[in-house]
A and B are shown apart, each in its own frame.
Chain A
Amino acid sequence: MSASDVSSMPDSSQASTFEVRNLKKHFAGLKAVDGVSFSVRTGEILGLIGPNGSGKTTLVNVVTGLLPATEGSILLDGEDLTRRPAHDRARKGLARTFQTVRLFGQMTVLENVEAAVVSTGHRRRHAASQAMEVLADLGLADQAHRLAREIPFGHQRKLEIARALAMRPKFVFLDEPAAGLNEQESDELDDLLRRIPGQYSVGLVVIEHDMRLMMNLCPRLHVLNYGKTIAEGTPDEVRSNHEVVTAYLGSRA
């Protein structure tokens, strides 16, 4: 176990596809997500952007099962997960981080990751070494025995990512991973996100307001406004899209 390096971690190296079709989430009258479709494959990075309140977080909550979908379907390699409970989707390979960091605060950094390892069907016996590998890879090994709530905020953000990766997921949804980070931490994150898809054979869906970071990081962007897709394509295509420009100027200028 100890000899295996991080790059050989995923069980199956064949590519997977994650897809949502016509996904809707309505809160009473409010259409937070209103008919969104996209797909992403392992190894890819998809950027999800949009003004505040456009439905990005809600989309992730629905996809990962923390909120039930109003309509539409969520498919992983063709398997319909729309009605599956959240923990089931996690075990099938959908991992996430939260916009406001959600760690297991009273547990150590190592235990946070171990909990994710054992929850996705791996043996307790191997959990510590598997967890340490990911922690070491993300530069958190020296924090392993500290309480999660006591480490610096930048490390907490990274720990959330480590915890997600330790699940050996197929797709990871990152909800504003750079929020609250300083410039140096943000650059480190950029490097990390670039290597994750190849190294861990996962697809990333990244939500971020930092446009400089997003335009460089994501080959493909998906833009939401009022729960609807208003554009998708390469950063250049999106940047020159008229509706996108209006949406951002209209609500954030």
Chain B
Amino acid sequence: MSSKKSIREALLDHSTLLVLMGAVTIVGVVVQLVGTPLLKNIYTSFCISLMMVLGLQMFMGNSGILSWTHIGFVGVGAYVSGILSMQPMMKQLGVPNMYPFLVSLHAPIGVAILAGGLVAALLAALISYPLMRLSDAAGVITLFATLIVFHVVMTQWDNVTNGPRTFFGLQEYTTLWVALIAALATMVLAWFFRDSALGLRIRASRDDRYAARAVGIDVVRVRYLTFVLSALVMGLAGGIWAHFITSFSPKAFYIAEMFTLISMLVIGGAGSITGAVTGAVVVTIVREALRQVEAAINNAHVLPFEVFGLTELVLAVFMVAVLIWRPVGVIGAQEARLVRLKATSGGGRPAEADKEV
């Protein structure tokens, strides 16, 4: 067999990625051409969510560790990029207590967004090594606790974030095209990461920690590297989001938002890019539809009380239902394949899933 692949083979190997990218792009072009401003907004924020879900997928889907921390890195990216991209005058106005050296810092938006990603990655690199030793419940709990720490810092560090108050005055830089390109780039990154040397090792450690160690995988190290890489993506997404929404406060980077991202990933299937994209599409549509329903109910005054939280409620029920009936998500852990590779059928006794080493 030849080790050099033909172009045809390469296209087949990556056909799923190409189709996903094509579909997302076509929808974007249509929305841009004929969509209402509301639809353009929904689509743009979908692309940003997609970027975040894929960033989360890189760690969570491949390592099997549920991370509540990730939205914190989005926050870091948002604040860092905002502080860098805003004019000093605006900063003095918006964040009266800001450290003078931060007020005077200024960079072009592109550089600011990049810096936001890098600072998020650096922070992840500094804090996450000990966390990566933990698996299962202990891992989930510590990553959740870490999110709380992020939140407390964001709400208390007046001189940087304006505390719990709104941080405002960013330029609107993120157009539909910027968001789309960022989403497409992240799709490519997540797709090739999955199949990289690190991607193979982190997935192996997800499927069986003991066997992974026995074949030479330093489980803590591969988790750590993946965590830092995915924090980078989350930080970049934070900067892109910040320059779309232009004003935000720490509650944008907390449990409710993280829950939405996790539900996207869990519903679609954390193990694959196809699953992550599917989940983002489904949740975005459900969320927007429910928002309309909620608004309609409230406007009609048919109920003696305000309806709110319908979105979270339905998403939660949806997620529970998926976890019960199809724990691997709608798509599952495998990439959807348009072209079936030699699939020789034939059942057999499944391996006993014995926990004993």
Contact = CB atoms under 8 A, between A and B. Distances in A.
A100 interface: yes
B2 A2 contact: yes
Contact of B346 (A65, A124, A125, A152): A152
A107 B350 contact: no
A102 B1 contact: no
A48 interface: no
Contacts of B341: 145
Name which of A67, A98, A106, A155 has the most chain B CB atoms within 10 A of its CB. A106
A147 interface: yes
Contacts of B343: 145-146
B173 interface: no
Given A2-B2, A105-B207, A118-B200, A95 B349 contact: no
Contact of A2 (B1, B206, B213, B271): B1
B324 interface: no
A96 interface: yes
A136 B51 CA distance: 39
Contact of B216 (A119, A149, A151): A119
Interface in A117-132: 118-121, 123-129, 132
Interface string B329-357: 00001100000011110111111101011
A115 interface: yes
Interface stretch (A85-93, A189-197, A219-227, A231-239): A85-93
Given A102-B210, A118-B201, A167-B216, A154 B348 contact: yes
Interface residues of A, number: 60
Contact of A153 (B218, B334, B348): B348
Interface in A170-195: 180
B333 to A, nearest CB: 4
B179 interface: no
Nearest to A132: B1
Contacts of B351: 100-101, 103, 105, 149, 153, 156
A10 to B, nearest CB: 16
Given A87-B218, A129-B3, A146-B344, A104 B203 contact: yes
Contacts of B212: 104, 115, 119
A120 B354 contact: no
Given A105-B207, A129-B3, A90 B214 contact: yes
A127 B197 contact: yes
B273 to A, nearest CB: 14
A2 B3 contact: yes
B188 interface: no
A114 B214 CA distance: 14
Given A2-B3, A119-B216, A132-B1, A104 B348 contact: no
Q: What does DSSP make chain B's interface, helix, strand, loop or mixed? A: loop
B350 A66 contact: no
B261 interface: no
Name which of B3, B207, B218, B341 has the most chain A CB atoms within 10 A of its CB. B207
A249 interface: no
A65 B210 CA distance: 10
Given A1-B3, A100-B356, A105-B207, A90 B215 contact: yes
A82 interface: no
Contacts of B271: 106
B344 A85 contact: no
B180 to A, nearest CB: 30
B211 interface: yes
A66 B215 contact: no
Contacts of B240: none
A42 interface: no
Contacts of A98: 210-211, 214, 357
Nearest to A93: B216
B196 A124 contact: yes
Contact of A107 (B196, B207, B354): B207
A116 interface: yes
B339 to A, nearest CB: 11
A111 interface: yes
A103 B208 contact: yes
A229 interface: no
Contact of B197 (A61, A124, A129, A143): A124
A186 to B, nearest CB: 15
Contacts of A103: 207-208, 211, 351
20 contacts: A61-B357, A87-B213, A87-B216, A87-B217, A87-B218, A95-B214, A96-B214, A100-B352, A100-B356, A102-B214, A104-B204, A104-B211, A105-B207, A115-B215, A116-B215, A119-B201, A154-B348, A156-B351, A167-B216, A180-B349
Interface of A: 1-2, 57, 61, 64-67, 85-88, 90-91, 95-96, 98-107, 111-112, 114-116, 118-121, 123-129, 132, 142-147, 149, 151-156, 163-164, 167, 180
Q: Which 9 A-B pairs rank lowest in CB-CB distance, beginning with the nearest? A: A152-B348, A90-B216, A100-B354, A119-B216, A104-B207, A153-B349, A102-B211, A86-B213, A115-B204
Given A98-B357, A105-B207, A115-B201, 9 more contacts: A57-B357, A98-B210, A106-B334, A107-B200, A107-B203, A115-B203, A143-B344, A151-B348, A167-B215
